[in-house]
């Protein structure tokens, strides 16, 4: 029964409709926030709600992107890899909207004020640094960029995602420090800690030893 079930899951992941379905699902949070803004359903402070919701979705998509490789390995489903690029690009999409919301609603698109605010407030600085590091990853997520950089350099560049995860958690922690509310921060930190810890364990664990070959009798 296990083998047919595994084949069924693989067929579902490889189905031509799988990527379009994921694309539509990934756009649903944006569609809901857009609709809620138009219909005045974002609460007493809609601008703050919108900015923070976009930041939350950035973190969620970052977790989903980093979860692809462990799930692919543990579940023995290589087809999951075909969704990682799209999830990573949606991470950047929501990060850009989060930054745009801050620049527009909080700072009125006054770029001199934005630059001073980034330099003055550490939690804005680390969030902006995370977005800057995420930008080259999004720009090189295509096959042509991989060929141009070469696989080794491309993989080295995309290890920046570990630093991005740390900056994202630090940004979230400092943002919540003013209200002394760290429950969600702890949840995201635990999820990202497990996902990155799994990678570190895989990288640092000793390679399995080959079984010793005993000489045949009489030789």
Residue with tokens 């950089």: 149
Q: What is the 3-state secondary structure (H, E, C) of 35-96?
A: HHHHCCCCCCCHHHHHHHHHHHHHHHHHHHHHHHHHHHHHCCCHHHHHHHHHHHHHHHHHHH
Confidence (pLDDT) at 218: 41
DSSP reduced 3-state for 15: coil
pLDDT at 30 over 50: yes
Domain boundaries, the chain: 54-203
Confidence (pLDDT) at 217: 45
pLDDT at 212 over 60: no
**Mean pLDDT of all residues in the chain?**
88
Q: What angle do CA 117, 90, 187 make, to 5 degrees?
A: 70
5 vs 88, residue with greater confidence: 88
pLDDT digits (tens, 9 = 90+) for 133-187: 999 999 999 989 989 999 999 999 999 999 999 999 999 999 888 777 789 999 9
Confidence (pLDDT) at 6: 60
73-83 mean pLDDT:
90
DSSP reduced 3-state for 169: helix
Residue with tokens 């490789």: 69
Q: What per-residue string of b and e applies to 142-171 under the rule 16 or more CB within 10 Å gives b?
A: eeeeeeeeeeeebeebbebbeebbebbbbb
72-93 mean pLDDT:
93
Confidence (pLDDT) at 7: 60
pLDDT digits (tens, 9 = 90+) for 90-113: 999 999 999 999 999 999 999 999
Among candidate residues 37, 89, 64, 31, the one with its CA nearest the CA of residue 165: 64
């Amino acid at each position: 029964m296990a083998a047919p079930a595994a084949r069924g899951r693989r067929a579902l992941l490889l189905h031509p409709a799988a990527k379009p379905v994921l694309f539509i699902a990934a756009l649903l949070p944006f569609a809901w926030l857009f609709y809620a803004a138009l219909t005045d359903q974002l609460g007493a402070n809609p601008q703050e709600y919108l900015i923070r919701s976009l930041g939350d979705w950035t973190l969620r998509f970052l977790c989903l992107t980093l979860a692809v490789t462990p799930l692919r390995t543990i579940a023995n489903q290589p087809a999951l890899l075909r969704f990682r690029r799209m999830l990573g690009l949606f991470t950047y999409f929501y990060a850009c909207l989060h930054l745009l919301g801050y620049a527009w609603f909080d700072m009125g698109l006054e770029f001199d004020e934005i630059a001073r605010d980034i330099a003055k407030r550490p939690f804005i600085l680390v969030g902006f640094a995370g977005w800057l590091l995420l930008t080259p990853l999004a720009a090189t997520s295509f096959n042509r960029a991989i060929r141009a950089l070469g696989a080794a350099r491309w993989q080295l560049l995309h290890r920046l995602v570990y630093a991005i995860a740390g900056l994202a958690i630090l940004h979230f922690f400092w943002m919540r420090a003013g209200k002394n509310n760290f429950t969600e921060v702890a949840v995201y930190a635990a999820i990202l800690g497990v996902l990155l810890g799994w990678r570190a364990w895989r990288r640092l664990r000793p390679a399995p030893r080959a079984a010793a070959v005993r000489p045949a009798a009489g030789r």
